[in-house]
Structures are given as structure tokens and as C-alpha cells.
Structure 1
Amino acid sequence: MQQLAGKISQKLRSYPARDTNSSVVSTLKHELSVGTASLEFASQPLHSQIIDFARNAASKGCSCLQILPLFLLPGIHVMEDIPTEVSQAKAVLGEDIVINLQPYLGSHPGLEGLVANQLCINRADATILLAHGSRRQSATILIEQISAKLGLVTAYWASPPSLESQVTDLFSMGCRKINVVPYFLFAGGITDTIARTIEKLKLNFPTISFQLSKPLGASAEIIELIWDLMER
């Protein structure tokens, strides 16, 4: 996330200042601030992180703060938790600074193209698009749509169908070269566990050749999608 924030900051500095009605930056010659915050595993709740960052930005002349959720699915966090935290921050800050909650990253149609690029890199009999999943059934519609357009098999880490069950089905259909594309933004504990799971699957299905793609990461393509969402 820090690498991503740094690259976004560089991109902001390369652009001329906008007028005061712009959704990106005002005409004030202030230091452009880009930061990160976490909904979980942080020393402060998200609304406190937002308040601290907003006050620091306002002290440098910023009049508008953009918040872009780095989430790929419209689950509970995107649809309920984050809006609640942002509302709490707004209630404390009042009119000191305008706060805009932008669309979550996964809502950008360009993500389908990034997944398609993975298919060009690794050729296989079948490709499994492995997403986290959500308690909100509607959150998986996006994944199902991408899979349908690109001819992929869908699996979820936190809900069925699982990676293991989809591999079993593909094996029974005669697939012997399977590509697994993790629909995750960054590497972390879950992607490490996915890699270990695939190693176990190799033992259970020794005739299958598995290929595991990398998460989307802080790529130039992701930065362009974030930039586009910030300007909406």
C-alpha cells in the first residue's frame, strides 16, 4: 500500500493544479498528500485515521479529501463498514474539509482487462479465478460476470465453491493444465495460504500442472484505474 501511495503521489505532482471545484486538487499551492489507512489491524479505528489525515492535509491548504476503498468486491466492508466510518469522520470534522468517498476499486471495468492479461501470460486447459468471497451474495456477481466473459471457472476462498472442489471437477473433465488467478490486490497471508494449498493439490493430483499467477499489485495499470476513479 505504501508503494502504491508513493506512485499515486508522484503522478499527482506531475499534473498541474486544478481549480477549486476540482475533485482532485485545488489551486492552492499546497503539498499534495497521499496516505493510506486500514479498516482492520490498525492502532486506531478508520474514522480516527481519516480525521488525523484530514486535519493534517487541511493544515497544508487542502480543502478536499478523496477516499478510495482498495477493495475488489462490494462486500460488507465496502457497502457498510467504510461508509459508516467515513460518516463518523465527517461528523467530527464538520466543514473543515470536504470528504468524498469514491467508488471502490473493483467497480472499475478496467479490472477485467487486467485479468485477461493474465490469461495471455499463462496458457492452460482451464483457468480458475479465485476471489475472497463475501457474506453478501450480491458481491460475487461481479466475479461471475468477469468469469463468464473470459471463460473462466470461479472459486472463492471464504465461501463455496472452493479451489479444491473446482480442481476436482476440472480433473474429472480431463483438464491437466490449470492456471489459478488470485483476484487479490496485494500479497499477504491469504495468498501465501493459497500457494500452500496448491502445493497440496499437486500431491493429490500429480498429473495436473498448476500455474499460480501473482496478485494484481501496485502496477501501472492499477494506478491508472485509481486515477480514473479519483477524477469521477
Structure 2
Amino acid sequence: MRQLIKPWRHVFKLDPDRELGEAELALVCGSGTDAILVGGSTGVTYRNTQDLLHRLRPYGLPCALEVSDLAAAVPGFDLYMIPMVLNTADTAWVLGQHRKAIERYGSLIPWDLLLTEGYIVLNADSSVARLTGADCALNAEETAAYAQIADKLMQLPVVYLEYSGTFGDMETVRTVREVVECSQLFYGGGIKSETEAKQAAALCDTVVVGNIIYSDVQQGLATVEAVKNTVKLAVD
């Protein structure tokens, strides 16, 4: 599954709890993005997740589900991405929810389709921060330390910097980039322009674009080329 995500430079994230018309969905799926990530912090249900998957399937793009609610674990996705929120004192979001999932579903879990994400949540005003009780008051070095826990101690396939709704501090992102060696570095949060998309793409392996699709689809589409034409920073 690591090989599936390795080529991903640009990903659109779609929220099952938000409306997106058929014309807009066709534009998103025909934009040249590498994959669609389905997920959200609130309002995600089995029904709306399944409906979105059925709408996405005709376009032939890789579709991944970020599992944030056990009740919305819909079969049929190409990949299931499992967040572990590293910067929270609430162990439910590190291991507790995961244990419950294994107890509930056991042998039904498609282990070969799962990838774990080491999430570092960095916007205190976001829904995901409030839900998980994440400590977002981190400086660059503290954030990088969490990233190294995911990359080196836990050897997770993905380190995910989640700014969720606000554009992140690129100096913090740069500091993280300099220490992550093996994990694929994802960035998500607040990208509203080609300039912001290029800044994130220069420092990260994969750029996730979400909210702008629902407010300005054309601006969202422009981020695809911006990301793919940006050369990643070389880190020794």
C-alpha cells in the first residue's frame, strides 16, 4: 500500500457531509489530481460515505477513506487511512479507537488495504483539534519531534501535518521536512491559492486540498498544476 500512495503529489479531500454538485465533482475528478481522499471530522455517516464512493467510482481515480468514525467504515475503497493523533493526551485517538475497531470487526478488517497516518494537528480552532483534544501550541522543534516519533520510532508510512482550515506556518513545515526521512510527508490545511499550493508542495511529498473546492472550485482546480509543477526541496 505504500507503493500506491508514493506517486501522490496532489490529492483532493472530499467530505461526505458537504454538498458537491455533479458538474463540480466531474471537474475535480478530471483535474489530474492523483487521488481522492474521503473523510471529515463531523457528520460522517455510513450512508453519506457510501453515496460519495458510488459517485466517485465511475471516474476511475484511486479512492481512499480516512477512517474517523467506525460507523462510517464503508467497504469498497482502494485504501483505508487510519489516523493516530500524536499530539493529544487522550489515548482514545492514539490507540483506544483502534482497539475498539479491532474488537468489533476482527477478521473483517482488510489489513492489506490499511495505512496508518501519524497525525499532528496544528490548528486549535479546528473541529479535529476540539474533537481529539490536540495540543496545538507547539513550536517548530516540538512539532518536528512528534514527526520523528512517527517516522523513526513508530515507522509509520505517513506523517500528516494537519492545519485544517488555516494555512500553516511554512517554517514549521520546513523544520519537519528536514527530519522526516522515511515516512511520506502529507500537508493539509487552508490552501486557497496556487501560491500557497506551491509553498506546501516545495516542502511536502503530498499536498491535500479540500475546503476551497466547496467555495471556489476553479481556484481549487488550479492547485493541481501548481503542485505538480513544483519541485520538492532536496533534504540531505
Fold shared, TM-score > 0.5 on shorter chain: no
- TM-score (normalizing by structure 1): 0.31
- Structure with more of its chain in strand, by fraction: 2
